[in-house]
Structure formats: structure tokens, C-alpha cells
Amino acid sequence: MEKTTPPVPRSAPLDALRAVAVLLVLGRHFPEAPPGGAPPPAWLALWQRGGWIGVDLFFVLSGFLVSGLLFREYQRFGEIRYGHFLARRGCKIYPAFYFMFGAVLLYAAHLGKNFVGWPVVLSELCFVQNYGPALFPHTWSLAVEEHFYLLLPLLLLAVRGKRDAPFARLPQWFLVVAGLALAARLATTQILDFRLKTHFFPTHLRLDSLLFGVLLSWATHFAPETQERVWTRFRWPLAVAAVALTVPAFCLDIGRGWYLHTIGFTGLYLASGVLLLFVMRWQSAWRPFAFIGAYSYSIYLWHLPVRFFGLSWLPRDADPLTRAAAYLALSVVVGIIAAWLVERPFLALRDRFFPTRSQPRCHPELSEEPPTFPRVEGKPARPSPLIAEGVAIESR
């Protein structure tokens, strides 16, 4: 077995950003009020309308963090091991997902529900539920990310280029993919009537969000001087633009018009990238958010089973705030319990049999000098929050 360094500590700011993403998604799926019941307050309805943008934030985060694994592996070893990468991703994604899926099927059978059918089961098990039939309306994003994991190492191997300028063609590839994805979204909205399955879920319409995270990660690892110079000069105009690009998701319904599921997706991944760059430079984060973010994958997996099966004990006339609070609390608790029962043991096995190859070169065990941001416009260099903390980079 290859000797590698142990996993590095988690980044609290990025875990807090994960928490923001998963809480946005949970808000999108708030339980509906019973017929004739009181309507939800305006802020809760707003959260529900725009909470779907949490998935777009997840996509940018996944692209940024997962590609960082491969970039640092290349920095250490001069190579990328495709099989090793997929084995580690599989240990992260599959056990928790298959456990949730099997548990839901068994519980539904216990309640006397009809079997969903083998096409649904096979579609979910093979991670093609964003194109085929699905049991739940949230697992489509797992399929998109799984397809991304299969393609990313191949893309990086194809564009790695020269040793002194690794992956230098990545920005051009991003522009090509972004242009093709946007063109495909515009063509889809002209050809087909709106459906989430055709306009929102397909991998070929969403890969640019993930690849934008990869582009930010490439700049962080291989062009930090340029990134810091641009960020120092334009961060506040970028922040204003990010807010402007995000607001329409909370004002418009996703199924009305063409903007949100075409250009809107482009705007949301750009805004998510700006937020990510801000968070990377925070030196601390609110600990409860970071705690929730550390379990975001399992919370995401279980929030809809909790909504469908876990709220039957509530009175039928419970007000929207009570139903929302119970749903949020139970989703977080069940997700954390599931993570401790399934996800964490498999991650321990993964680190034993497929140890990480992506420890930063500047880890204290490997270098006496801490990494720094480059000097920009006469300002003193400061430790990189991404690499100096040794970010634990596992999607969700």
C-alpha cells in the first residue's frame, strides 16, 4: 500500500458555506401547508421560492473542492490516478446513498406502499436519475456530480500540458463548455415545454457550473498572483454583481419565462464563485454552521425522506412555522445520525485502503515554510486560507 500523509483538517469557513447551501435546499422543500391552513410568512415563502439555488452553490463548491484534490495530487506526484480518485469518491458517495435508498424502500414496503418498479430502482442505483425515472426529486443532483467525477480526471489528463505551466488550457476549455451549455439551455427552452426533467436536471445543461468551480480552483493553485490581483481590485464590484445575479431566483418562479433556467444558471454559478472567494478569505466561521456543513451530504440525502415519512406525528392543523421548524430540525438530526452510522465508518475504511494523495505540498510535515498569498500592490503577504489550513476537500 502506498504511503501517504493522513487526511488534513476541515476548513470551517467552507463547511459553513456547505451549511448555507444545504439549508437553502431544505428551504426549497418546506412541507406544504394543509388545504385551508394559514399561509406561510413572507420570509418563509421567499426562502422556499429561491432555495433551489443551494444546488448551484453545491455545484461550484464541488467543482472547486474536488478538482483541488486532483491539482494537489499532481503537485505532489506529477500524475493523477483515475482509479484511486474514483475509489475515494465512491466510498464517499455510494454507501450513504444506497443505505438511504434501501431504507426508504423497506420502510415504504412496511407501510404497504406499492413497489416503485425496477426502472426507478435501476435508474437510481446507476446514477442516471436526472435523465430517467427517479424515486425522489433531489437525487438528480447526485447524478450530475457523479457524471462530473467520471469526466473531470479525464479532462485534466487531456489538458495537463507542460510541467512548468500545468493545465494552462483549462480556461479555454471552460469557455467552450460554458458556451455550449448555455447554447444547449437556450435551444432546449425553444424546443421543449418547460419541465424540470428537461430544463433543470440534465448533466449537459449543468456541467458549466461545476467546471467554473474547477476554474477557480486552478487559479487558486496555479495562478494565485493573478487571482489575488484581480480580487483585490474588483472584489466589491463583483460582490454587487453577485447580489444582482442572485436576486431574480427569489423574485421569479423557476417555471415561468426563460431567464432563470438559461442565463440565470450562468449568473448563479458566477455569483456562487464570488461568494466562495469571499469565504476563502474569512479566518473564522460561525461554528454551528460549520458543524452542519460537515454533515451536509447526509442531511441532503435524508431531508426529503424526512419530509415524506417523518412528519406524520405533527397535528394536521400545525402552522407553517411549526411544520418548517420540525422538518429542518429532524432533517439535520437524521442526517447527522446517518452520517455517524454509515458515512463515517466507510470514510475510515476509505482512508485505510485508499489513502489521500492530495495533501498540500506545504503541509507542516512536508515543508517548514507556510504558504502565502503573493504580495499585491505593496500589501504584505498573508497565509493562504485554502492551503495553509489544509482544507478537507470532499464534496458535500
More confident residue, 38 or 303: 303
Q: Per the domain annotation, does 375 fall within a domain?
A: no
Sign of the CA dihedral with 201 first, then 19, 396, and 327 last: negative
Distance between CA 227 and CA 215 in Å, rounded? Answer: 11
DSSP state at residue 366: T
Question: For position 163, what pLDDT does the model report?
Answer: 80
Question: 68-91 pLDDT, tens per residue?
Answer: 999 999 999 999 999 999 999 999
- What is the average per-residue pLDDT within 353-377? 50
Distance between CA 388 and CA 370 in Å, rounded? Answer: 6
Q: Per the domain annotation, does 278 fall within a domain?
A: yes
Please give the C-alpha separations between residue 21 and each of 84, 242, 244, 259, 389, in angstroms, as whole numbers: 28, 16, 18, 22, 22
Cell matching residue 257: 419565462
Q: How many CB atoms lie within 10 A of CB 309?
A: 14
Are the beta carbons of 248 and 53 closer than 8 angstroms?
Answer: no
Residue 374 has pLDDT above 80, yes or no: no
Residue 9 has pLDDT above 90, yes or no: no
Among candidate residues 212, 174, 166, 171, the one with its CA nearest the CA of residue 74: 166
Number of domains in the chain: 1
Distance between CA 214 and CA 220 in Å, rounded? Answer: 10
Q: Per the domain annotation, does 56 fall within a domain?
A: yes
Lowest mean pLDDT, pick from 135-139, 262-266, 378-382: 378-382
Among candidate residues 289, 277, 214, the one with its CA nearest the CA of residue 60: 214
Contacts of 192 (CB under 8 A, 6+ apart): 198, 199
Q: Per the domain annotation, does 67 fall within a domain?
A: yes
Question: For position 221, what pLDDT does the model report?
Answer: 94
Q: Per the domain annotation, does 223 fall within a domain?
A: yes
More confident residue, 335 or 386: 335
Residue 282 has pLDDT above 90, yes or no: no
Range of the domain at 69: 12-160+167-353
Residue 127 has pLDDT above 50, yes or no: yes
Q: Per the domain annotation, does 379 fall within a domain?
A: no
Contacts of 282 (CB under 8 A, 6+ apart): 13, 385
For every residue of 267-313, DSSP letters joined together read HHHHHHHHHHHHHHT-S---HHHHHHHHTHHHHHHHHHHHHHHS-TT
Among candidate residues 8, 6, 3, 44, the one with its CA nearest the CA of residue 26: 44
Question: For position 250, what pLDDT does the model report?
Answer: 96
Residue 27 has pLDDT above 50, yes or no: yes
Question: For position 79, what pLDDT does the model report?
Answer: 92
Q: How many CB atoms lie within 10 A of CB 325?
A: 12
Question: 246-270 pLDDT, tens per residue?
Answer: 999 999 998 888 999 999 999 999 9
Residue 371 has pLDDT above 90, yes or no: no
The pTM (predicted TM-score) of the whole model is 0.89
Confidence tier at 33 by pLDDT (50, 70, 90): confident
Q: Per the domain annotation, does 234 fall within a domain?
A: yes
Q: Per the domain annotation, does 396 fall within a domain?
A: no
Query: Cα–chain-centroid distance for residue 138?
Result: 13
